[in-house]
Amino acid sequence: MELQILVFSSIILIPFFLYCFDLYRLRRMPPGPTGLPIIGNLLDIGPKPHESLAKLSKKHGPLMTIRLGSITSVVASTPEAAREILQHNDTSCSGRVVPDAVTALSIHDAAVIWISTNDVWKKIRKALGMYLTHKQKLDSLRDLRLNVVDCMIEFLRGSEKKKEYVDIGKLAFAVALNMMSSTCLSQNVASYDSDDIGGFKTAVKKVMEVDGKFNIADIFPVLKPLDPQNIRREAKVAYDWLDKVITGFVKERLNQRELKRPRFGDMLDSLLDYSQDNEAEFKLKHIRALLMDLFIGGTETSSNTTEWAMTELLLNPNMFLKVREEVCTAVGEDGKIQEAKILELPYLQAVIKETMRLHLAVPLLIPHRVEAHEVKLGDYHVPKNTQILINAWAISRDPKYWDKPLMFKPERFLGSEVDYKGQHFEFIPFGAGRRICPGLPLAQRVVSLMVASFVYHFDWKLPHDKEEMDMNDVFGLTLLRATPLLATPISIE
Ligand code: HEM
């Protein structure tokens, strides 16, 4: 009889205590919308999560808790809330939540984007700082980028002759990919004039597409083995293809080094040297994963920003002409745009910043995760493993900081100290803190060079009236234009 009482009271009491503990935990977390059983707040989040979260935060506050299936997230929607996370609690909040699609990459546990901020991560970020984005390194590889731009201009002249519309985003994607591949591997991997079916461009695009899809298995982890939307399987095909090609590049370079052939002096050479010196933490698999991360993290973000900048400039001819006038002062005697000079052009840089403010490439940054222990954010206690979303999109439209936030007004940045390097929390298109985008200095050069070249060398004709321009975007890994920007180039020389 006593045993029965014990079993019976355990059945009642254990769930009761668990429920009370959950209530206690939730009461210590930031407030948020009441969710439905099992699915939580899933129905509150539509196809544009950055917009629905911004709306919800107006009601529930700058730090808000939402629950999607079994995943609990805290969302930061103001500069102050972002600062609390990315500056005051940066170390505790810099983990990652690895999406199921990414696990299709067999070496995802070596990928800088997805691993915790451990010693290996530090080694990889150090290598990026030394060999990719250090000012001297960037300067020394300037000619490679100029060559890519020359090919792009040649392609545009060809399109002009054929009187063809150019898909500016698609072209910018191929250019950004080639800038990255020439910097890393001394090779161009994408062609401009074909759709490149089955090639490098398609594989990188595919990874971006599947990684950015809403995956039910991410919010109900019990479904992971089933992969109900086929997302992991699709991702695996693209990841395996890319990994095979990148491994081929690395093996070929190792052979050339063994045969004592001349070095290329590119990023791959530097990474192989670095790996020899740091064998324990930085192996060949880290090089393969890093190259993959750079192609995935550094191309669509840059091309998308370029496409939005061109959209705004084609809608605002006075701004377009102002940029052209400025770029003219940065052209050398050889008739080529000088990269170092365009980085100093105030109006061009203001146009790029304003584009990044209004058309954020990565609207929720890459989700962070509370690591190691419970963290106190303001008056709230947020438990270990909670996902952290920073709504940089909402932040860069906060009317407390931005006058007429929905207007494209590059002038707001002229004479202003606000920039995107992670110090001004009202403007964090690259994130802030230890996870801030390591590609920022390269992105600034690539985007500036593409926009300056488009504007300096060509006038552009839209296939429709300006008023008909579709300004909608589609949420994914990056916030893409809903309809591609098409325009015909007309040489001005
Ligand atoms: C306009 C262009 C770009 C934008 C807007 C952008 C934005 C971002 C953002 C928002 C993050 C996440 C920050 C966070 O988690 O808090 C990020 C991470 C990252 N970006 Fe970029 N990015 C751009 C270009 C690039 C380029 C050119 C590269 C490569 C050279 C690059 C490589 C990376 C990598 C490797 C990470 C992961 C860093 C980590 O987790 O430690 N990005 N980027």
Question: Is residue 57 assigned to a domain?
Answer: yes
pLDDT at 372: 73
Residue length, the chain?
A: 493
**Domain presence at residue 205:** yes
Say yes or no: CB of residue 297 within 6 Å of ligand 1: yes
Tell how far the Cα of 269 is from the centroid of ligand 1, in angstroms: 22
Q: What is the largest CA-CA distance in the chain?
A: 99
Compute the distance between CA of residue 403 and CA of residue 330 in angstroms, rounded to an integer: 31
Run of H or E including 14 = helix 2-28
* CB 124 within 8 Å of CB 158: no
- Residue 122's Cβ-side half-sphere holds a number of Cα atoms within 13 Å equal to 4
pLDDT of residue 334: 87
Q: Is 227 left (phi over 0), alpha (psi -120 to 50) or beta?
A: left
* Cβ(371)–Cβ(95) below 8 Å: yes
Name the least confident of 84-88, 127-131, 196-200: 196-200
Q: What is the mean pLDDT of residues 118-124?
A: 94
pLDDT at 342: 97
Cβ pair 273, 111 in contact under 8 A = no
Using one digit for the tens of pLDDT, what is the confidence trace for 213-235? Answer: 999 999 999 999 999 999 999 99
Which stretch of DSSP H or E encloses residue 488? strand 486-491
Would 25 be classed as within a structural domain? no
The whole-number pLDDT of residue 242 equals 94
- Residue 6: inside a domain, yes or no? no
Chain segment 149-169, per-residue pLDDT in tens: 999 999 999 999 999 999 999
Nearest CA to ligand 1 atom 21: 437
Contact 54, 393 (CB under 8 A): yes
Q: CA-to-CA distance for 115 and 119, rounded, in angstroms? A: 10
Ligand 1 close to Cβ of residue 435 (< 6 A)? yes
Asked if 459 contacts 428 with a C-beta cutoff of 8 angstroms, the reply is: no
How many secondary structure helices (H) and strands (E) does the chain include?
A: 18, 12
> With a 6 A CB cut-off, is 115 part of the ligand 1 pocket?
no
The closest of 24, 30, 126 to 85, measured between CA atoms, is 30
The answer as to whether 23 is a domain residue is: no
Its sign, for the CA torsion 400, 401, 403, 407, is negative
How many CB atoms neighbour CB 136 within 10 A? 8
Query: Cβ(457)–Cβ(156) under 8 Å?
Result: yes
- Pick the closest to residue 405 from 469, 357, 470 (CA basis): 357
Ligand 1 pocket check for 168: Cβ under 6 Å: no
Specify the pLDDT at position 24: 56
- Which protein residue has the closest C-alpha to ligand 1 atom 9? 430
- 437 alpha carbon to ligand 1 midpoint, in Å? 4
What does each C-alpha distance from 55 to 109, 404, 431, 438 come to in angstroms? Answer: 35, 18, 21, 31
Nearest atom of ligand 1 to the alpha carbon of 299? 27
* Amino acid at site 248: G
pLDDT tier, 472 (very low <50, low <70, confident <90, very high otherwise):
very high
Lowest mean pLDDT among 270-274, 330-334, 365-369: 330-334
Choose the residue to mutate in 177, 437, 444, 445 for probing ligand 1, maximizing ligand atoms within 8 Å of C-beta.
437
Is residue 481 included in any domain, yes or no? Answer: yes
- Give the per-residue SS3 of 295-313: HHHHCHHHHHHHHHHHHHH
Number of structural domains found in the chain = 1
> Which of 290, 411, 391 has its CA nearest to residue 350?
411
Pairing of strands 166-167, 486-491: antiparallel
DSSP tag of 491: E
**Cα dist. 137→65, 264, 290, 349 in Å?**
43, 13, 18, 22
Q: What per-residue confidence (pLDDT) applies to 194?
A: 64
The per-residue pLDDT for range 70-112, each reduced to its tens digit, is 999 999 999 999 999 999 999 999 999 999 999 999 999 999 9
Asked if residue 187 belongs to a domain, the reply is yes
Torsion of CA 262, 255, 179, 200, to 10 degrees: 150
Ligand 1 touching residue 76 (CB < 6 A): no
383 pLDDT tier (thresholds 50, 70, 90): very high
Q: Does ligand 1 have an atom closer than 6 angstroms to the CB of 79? A: no
Pocket-testing residue among 301, 354, 360, 479, ligand 1, by greatest number of atoms within 8 A of Cβ: 301
Q: Which residues of 158-188 are buried (b: 16+ CB within 10 A; e: fewer)?
A: ebeeeeebbebbbbbbbbbbbbbbbbbbbeb
- What's the mean per-residue pLDDT of the chain? 93
Q: For residue 458, give the 3-state DSSP assignment.
A: strand
> In whole angstroms, how large is the CA radius of gyration of the chain?
24
Q: Give the whole-angstrom CA distance, residue 93 versus residue 20.
A: 26
Instruction: Say if ligand 1 is within 6 A of residue 393 CB.
Output: no
Parent domain of 343: 31-491
Residues above pLDDT 70, as percent of the chain: 93
What is the spatial distance between Cα 265 and Cα 379, in angstroms, rounded to a whole number?
52
Residue 388: CATH number of its domain: 1.10.630.10
CA distance 62 to 54: 9
For ligand 1, say whether the CB of 99 is within 6 Å of any of its atoms. no
Give 163 Cα–ligand 1 centroid separation in angstroms: 36
* pLDDT at residue number 278: 87
- For residues 355 and 309, the answer to whether their CB atoms sit within 8 Å is yes
16 within domain boundaries: no
CA dist 470 and 455 (Å) reads 21
